[in-house]
Chain A
Amino acid sequence: MSAQRFTNNLPARLYAVRIYGVLALTLVVAGILVPSFLQPLNLENTVIQASPNGLMALGETLVIFMGCIDLSVGSTLALSGLVAVILQGPLGPWPAVLVGVLSGTGVGVINGLVVTRLGVNAFIATLGTMTGIAGVSLMISGGNPISPPNIGFGLPMNNAIIWWLPPPTVAFVGLCILLHILVTRTRVGRNLMSVGGNREASRRAGLRPNAYVFGAYVACGTFAGLSGVMLALSLATGSPIIGSVSVLPVIASVVVGGASLLGGAGSVVKTGVGVLIIGSLSMAMDIANVSSWDQDIVLGGVLLFVVLMGTLGQGGTPGRLRGSTRRERRVSSVIGEAEKGVRLEESSSVAALTATRSHQEETSMRKEEASMRGYKITGGDQI
């Protein structure tokens, strides 16, 4: 009875979807402060402009579900775009696109191997790849953006193909939905969430956690690669420094979307909503001619705010990426239960387990259990 209190009643369910409220609030506030933001064209553009970051955020969500992080997405964005643009001449458009995306996959493979095989902390590992891959981008581009004359081909990235959505946005929305279904409805997806939620338990159940972490990084790199290629084609330029500032909005989107940095909890669709929230803020500020420095301030403030809000009512030691020990979780969940007004005994009471019993049955049961525990007159209890 008390257990069901947490999942099925109205307040709990409303709490779970509060992010949509936040989106609505953001739109309202932005609309009030910047009235032209709510014009249809601007709203469309918000979604379109948010798509590259959105694609990256989807991949990043998978990695964060694993309790890890990927800081190299921005560098991968640049690399893949450069690769596609550079190879377009020699290889032809479609092969170049493919190789570009695969270069992102390659970065994901490197990240995955470093984290799973070498055992390096995810933060440090992807910090390393971020710098390394940025270096590679600089190397292959000579430090300058590359804009070949005949870029683009049958499918210009800036034209709408479905509804008013151009390819990058279609990709973002489509992949968001697909990924969400994968995570919530398929065995692979549920196994992924379980590895993120309790690695040891998953291992004992026969899953291989490293495989899932590796897969998450590969997916993240691929998504970043896809995004980079699409972006480069739509801008008609491969740039080595693009994406260097993308990590903030990408991670902010995931965090705003409610995914837990400890892993195992969160929703892909909500990350998508987070992307829209962050994107709306950026677009509104662009329209209002807010300088890029001030925009950074606002975004940084939002991130700070969300992080602080998220930690109120939680416990845990600072800075840990992989979460607290199981005992700490158990202790904090017990305390959490107590603070939620559920008495410790009540949460484990008979009522939740079986049908109600008569008072007589209860008393005789208690006597039984007391004697069962060895509380006999003859012997002592435990040693």
Chain B
Amino acid sequence: MTVSVASGTLRARGNAALLLLARYGIYVALVLMCAIGALISGSFLTITNILSIALSVGYVGFVAIGMAFVVIGGSLIDLSIPGVIAAAGLIALSTEQTVGPVPAILIAIVVGCFVGLVNGTAVGYFRANAILVTYAAQIIILGISQAVAGSGNIYAHGAVFNWLGNATIGRVPLVLPILAVALLVAYVTLHRSTFGRQVFATGGGYQASRVAGIPVRRIVMTTFVISGALAAVTGVLMSTALGSAQDTIGTGYEFSAITAVAIGGTSLFGGEGTIGRVLAGVLVVGVLDDLLILAGVSINAQGLVEGVIIIGAVALDVALRRVRTR
């Protein structure tokens, strides 16, 4: 009798520790990784390096925010992001000469929203499987982009785009302040607004939300529109920074985005998550990539490491979740 009581208490204490780990582990991991980075290479803590991390973080950050909305809303994933990124860049750059820079950007974002609309309608109103639909959308839109771009290159022209691509505030590239604004808006939208509450509710309990009068289908659709719009923004920023539009610029970003979201501890089943954690996840992914480069790991091996990381992150999340619900 006493044995079982004692082990019960021990287990309770163990559970408490694991729960702490679940909540704050991501931040601990981040700090640890930075420490490791500093140890591995003297150049880790230089401004140049930090800025380069920041730059890659910037782009992933945008798409991760969009992905977070989709995931929290219960739709699991948006695989069309690379296609939208490429398409947005192509469209912005190629229409700039005819309509001017600002309208070109707007058109690109509208296209991103449109793709999101199609995805969202299929998943929200037709209740189709999000993986297949967004994958199909990705293929289609990438195909269209490739067909349009053909073999020729489309370059960025004009003062505005050049500025956009190279502007810095101090030494901080423009991407980051824009991202910061986006994060702030996302935070307010997701955690303080009625819309955000409805997204959480839809992801956490679709039928109950329906009974409560929440327009669930529209909410799901809107999350995809947000994701598409943000992916388009990313595409525009990346293309102007690169100076030309290529169909491969978005490759892998859906993967990075879902990794960031999952590592940050957002449940892939929906209904849970915070923007802060998404940011933490993005930072972890960014720092990790940087660490790999600094450690001299070949590009080829990076794929391997990334694969292991995401599996590890989700496995850990699953294990912790099991503890939490006992």
Task: List A residues at the B interface (Cβ < 8 Å).
Answer: 69, 114, 118-121, 123-125, 127-136, 138-139, 142-143, 248, 251, 255, 261, 291-297, 299-301, 303-304, 307-308, 310-312, 314-321, 328
Q: Which of B123, B258, B304, B311 has the most CB of A within 10 A?
A: B311
B311 near A124: Cβ-Cβ < 8 Å:
yes
* Alpha-carbon gap, A1 to B235, bound state (A): 60
* Alpha-carbon gap, A300 to B140, bound state (A): 5
A313 to chain B: closest CB distance in Å? 10
Is B268 an interface residue, CB under 8 A from the partner?
Answer: yes
Task: Name A's interface SS.
Answer: helix
The residues of A that contact B146 with a CB separation of less than 8 Å are: 291-293, 296
* Alpha-carbon gap, A142 to B301, bound state (A): 10
B198 to chain A: closest CB distance in Å? 15
Among B140, B268, B306, B322, contact of A135 (Cβ-Cβ < 8 Å) = B306
* Alpha-carbon gap, A128 to B123, bound state (A): 24
Given pairs A131-B310, A248-B135, A291-B146, 18 additional interface contacts (CB within 8 A): A118-B319, A119-B315, A119-B322, A120-B318, A132-B303, A132-B304, A133-B307, A135-B307, A136-B304, A295-B143, A296-B139, A297-B143, A300-B143, A301-B136, A304-B140, A307-B129, A314-B127, A317-B127
Among B126, B255, B269, B308, contact of A127 (Cβ-Cβ < 8 Å) = B255
15 A-B pairs in the complex with CB atoms less than 8 angstroms apart: A120-B314, A121-B318, A124-B258, A124-B310, A125-B314, A128-B314, A132-B304, A291-B147, A299-B139, A300-B135, A304-B140, A317-B206, A318-B124, A319-B74, A319-B270
The residues of A that contact B127 with a CB separation of less than 8 Å are: 311, 314-318
* Alpha-carbon gap, A233 to B310, bound state (A): 33
* Alpha-carbon gap, A131 to B259, bound state (A): 12
A297 near B140: Cβ-Cβ < 8 Å:
yes
B308 to chain A: closest CB distance in Å? 6
B268 to A, closest residue via Cβ:
A121
Is B91 an interface residue, CB under 8 A from the partner?
Answer: no
B212 to chain A: closest CB distance in Å? 15
Q: Which of B132, B133, B255, B302 has the most CB of A within 10 A?
A: B132
* Alpha-carbon gap, A248 to B77, bound state (A): 16
Chain B 206-221 per-residue mask, 1 if CB under 8 angstroms from chain A, else 0: 1100000000000010
Is B122 an interface residue, CB under 8 A from the partner?
Answer: yes
B 70-96 contacts with A by CB, 8 A: 74-77
* Alpha-carbon gap, A303 to B140, bound state (A): 10
A42 to chain B: closest CB distance in Å? 23
A135 near B315: Cβ-Cβ < 8 Å:
no
B147 near A69: Cβ-Cβ < 8 Å:
no
The residues of B that contact A295 with a CB separation of less than 8 Å are: 143
* Alpha-carbon gap, A142 to B300, bound state (A): 8
The residues of B that contact A315 with a CB separation of less than 8 Å are: 127
A304 to B, closest residue via Cβ:
B136
A337 to chain B: closest CB distance in Å? 19
A294 near B147: Cβ-Cβ < 8 Å:
yes
B303 near A319: Cβ-Cβ < 8 Å:
no
The residues of A that contact B304 with a CB separation of less than 8 Å are: 131-133, 135-136, 139
B128 near A311: Cβ-Cβ < 8 Å:
yes
The residues of A that contact B301 with a CB separation of less than 8 Å are: 135, 138-139
A303 to B, closest residue via Cβ:
B136
The residues of A that contact B234 with a CB separation of less than 8 Å are: none
B128 near A307: Cβ-Cβ < 8 Å:
yes
The residues of A that contact B182 with a CB separation of less than 8 Å are: none
* Alpha-carbon gap, A321 to B130, bound state (A): 10
* Alpha-carbon gap, A117 to B311, bound state (A): 12
**Inter-chain contact count A-B, CB under 8 Å?**
177
B300 to A, closest residue via Cβ:
A138
Q: Which of B74, B77, B139, B304 has the most CB of A within 10 A?
A: B139
B315 near A114: Cβ-Cβ < 8 Å:
yes
A131-B140 contact given A255-B132, A294-B147, CB 8 Å threshold: no
A127-B75 contact given A139-B300, A304-B136, A304-B140, CB 8 Å threshold: no
B223 to A, closest residue via Cβ:
A318
The residues of B that contact A291 with a CB separation of less than 8 Å are: 146-147
A297-B144 contact given A131-B303, A318-B130, CB 8 Å threshold: yes
B 244-265 contacts with A by CB, 8 A: 255, 258, 262
Q: Which of A296, A317, A319, A320 has the most CB of B within 10 A?
A: A319
Among B140, B298, B310, B318, contact of A139 (Cβ-Cβ < 8 Å) = B298
B131 to A, closest residue via Cβ:
A123
The residues of A that contact B47 with a CB separation of less than 8 Å are: none
B123 near A318: Cβ-Cβ < 8 Å:
yes
Q: Which of A123, A294, A300 has the most CB of B within 10 A?
A: A300
B39 to chain A: closest CB distance in Å? 25
In the complex, the 3 A-B pairs of residues with the closest C-beta atoms, listed nearest first: A132-B307, A135-B303, A319-B76
The residues of B that contact A328 with a CB separation of less than 8 Å are: 207
Is B199 an interface residue, CB under 8 A from the partner?
Answer: no
Is B138 an interface residue, CB under 8 A from the partner?
Answer: yes
The residues of A that contact B124 with a CB separation of less than 8 Å are: 318
A220 to chain B: closest CB distance in Å? 17
* Alpha-carbon gap, A155 to B136, bound state (A): 38
Is B142 an interface residue, CB under 8 A from the partner?
Answer: yes
The residues of A that contact B76 with a CB separation of less than 8 Å are: 123, 318-321
The residues of A that contact B310 with a CB separation of less than 8 Å are: 124, 127-128, 131
B 271-324 contacts with A by CB, 8 A: 298-311, 314-315, 318-319, 322
B143 near A294: Cβ-Cβ < 8 Å:
yes
A123 to chain B: closest CB distance in Å? 7
B300 near A143: Cβ-Cβ < 8 Å:
yes
B202 to chain A: closest CB distance in Å? 9
Is B137 an interface residue, CB under 8 A from the partner?
Answer: yes
A319-B131 contact given A131-B303, A312-B126, CB 8 Å threshold: yes
* Alpha-carbon gap, A266 to B270, bound state (A): 28
